[in-house]
Structure 1
Amino acid sequence: MDLNFSAEERAFRADIRAWLASHLPDELSARVRAGQRLTRDDLQRWARILGAQGWLGAGWPVAFGGPGWSAVQRHLFDEECARADAPPVLPFGPVMLAPVLMAFGTPAQQQRFLPGIASGDVWWCQGYSEPGAGSDLASLRTRAERAGSGAAEHYRVNGQKTWTTLAQHADWIFCLVRTGHGSKPQAGISFLLIDLKSPGVTVRPIRLLDGEAEVNEVFFDDVQVPLDQRIGAENQGWACAKYLLAHERTHIADVPRAKRGLEHLKRIARLEGLWDDSRWRDRIALLEVDIVALEMMVLRALCAERGGGPGLDIAALLKIRASEIQQHLAELTMLAAGPQGLPCGPEAPASRYFNQRKTTIYGGSNEVQRNIVAQAVLG
């Protein structure tokens, strides 16, 4: 297994670095570097810059309007974006929904929805979790029933989603809804695309410990959804759900931003006079070892794909280790900042610490992921 990058891959990295130097707005990178909370306009501005270049869907094949990059090239692109302090790409449209549309959508659905995702013009959010249906997602109760007849036939959706990230800014939501019942709880679930401007949709922000409203409750009261906004067959949405979750869990790893966060932690430790304390250096060194090990896991998977062999199904492992590392990184950064880390605003390290506590829950709790790994290994 050769983990070194080829000459072509190193040249690709240089091209990405040069492009970022000329296209990434200084004020955006400055906000990211300072740890400031990015607004909707900040995030969409960067998404549209990438979209205009054809790079917002960095993992998309050429047939669907993407650059057709290899897995290694996507990794290098992510590394250079993190190194340049570029804003993150919100994953809901380009990373999570788009692969589902490519795999399960009809040509008409692909032509309708993919261009808006690729350009950064249409924002999506994820309607999975419900009160009482988080890690046990198959127990969801939001219901979609058929109504009308002929050309006017549609779904009538009633229910509630919760912890819906950035729904207050989104244009559309992709939802799991119950359309039937079967012998297993996973049966009878369908995958719908719903316009958040539809009558009967209510979005209510949830105020968090850091004072922000990053997540929301979304209520559906007799919301009419056309049948052609169902992806895949009726009652077969669980296949879409699992496919999407694999992409979400892999995205959570985000090794490049963990490495950038480690550099930030080291700077704080030096500024606060902690670098001379061997106990602090040991704690940072142990965290760095964990990040390097995570990176090796990612590179191993990329190496398998580059060699033409079967990809390594390590989404659950990546989600477990990456989320725990992100929490540890946020905790050490807050402690290193000392009094400067008090939660006096959304940019304070303590505020980021509060926010990072959720990483081991979203995308499937780590307890559930460990069960998945155990079943894969032990049967």
Structure 2
Amino acid sequence: MLRHQSEQPSDIIFEAEEDLYQSPTKQILMLKGSERTVQLTKNRMFQSYVNEFCGMVGLASNTLRLQIEKREINPHKLVNSSCLIKVAHTPEFHNAPNNSLKPSLRSILEQGYCSDLKLVFKSKTIPVNKCILTSRSQKFASMICSSTEEIKFPHKNIKSFWRLLIWIYSGELDVPDDIIETIDLFYLAQEFQVIDLMWRCEEEIILKISPSNVVDVLVKYYPALTRDVIIGSSNDDDLNLEEVKSLANDELQYTSPNEDNNPQLQSPISDTYKAELSQNILNACKSVFIKEFPDVVLNNPDLEQRLASVPGLIIALFSHINEQKHRKKKNKVRFSFVEEIHTPISFEHQFGDNITDTHSESSSRI
């Protein structure tokens, strides 16, 4: 016996869970409850359907939250049957300040609008805009000329570099969860001379330092941080070029895009400024190490071996302890009372005949 089978729907349906707006003008493009359909075809991923839907409506995909039965969709999953996708804006979209410039500038980077330069990494190529990079970074300004078409960065971390570019374009920081990644971004900002990002990263680093990670930070970055402090605290006359090169690490140098084997010392950000930020990070690490020492030991069973692997680190920590003790002694205030008897002295007695009656003198002149 044959049974009548209802026809299976052959479309991907996108339904608006709320009014959907264009970014950044906030113009309503799709009312709550309305639907758009995209024809189902074989061997297509969710992201492909999402891109087609966004193109139909005029929405930016990075402002949307897409769910099927209250579950986030996997954009890389293949779709073999029809489904209903609920569409709403992300919390970040709703909480963003009413400033259309930042999201617009960020979208230029994310969408590659009007790009005239390619940054080539080991696994990815990012289209960018010369005018924005050169206006925000002195290093990019020295690397880019009118005929430059691409710059290769085969050894750079793509995640950190993407965060750097987002900051350069929009002034927004996608804060890494890991403190090591944050410090890597700090040094990347130092290399490309983006001072405001260095300052922002320094704040995040100090907030993230804890007994569980302070030893990791000191072991990995103590030499570089100390080097910045030494260079910044020394007068230019005290260091010759060879000494600067010996102190400078990889973050203070770059390789010309046209001359891979010709490293050049980049024109520095203020050494005093770098020294101040590095000193702040070092002081925060030392303070956490001393104040939370029992927890530091619990998190690092091989603490002594790890500290001993970095020349000068143990001495620096003990010196910091002694400095703190010395400061506490200095901060003690002692009051001593001295009783003195002052004999009142008249104004005329103190200055004698030097006093003249200016009023009478002026009267006699008249």
Q: Relative contact order: is structure 1 or structure 2 higher (C-alpha 8 Å, sep ≥ 6)?
A: 1
Alignment TM-score, normalising by the size of structure 1: 0.26
Larger radius of gyration: 2
Alignment TM-score, normalising by the size of structure 2: 0.27
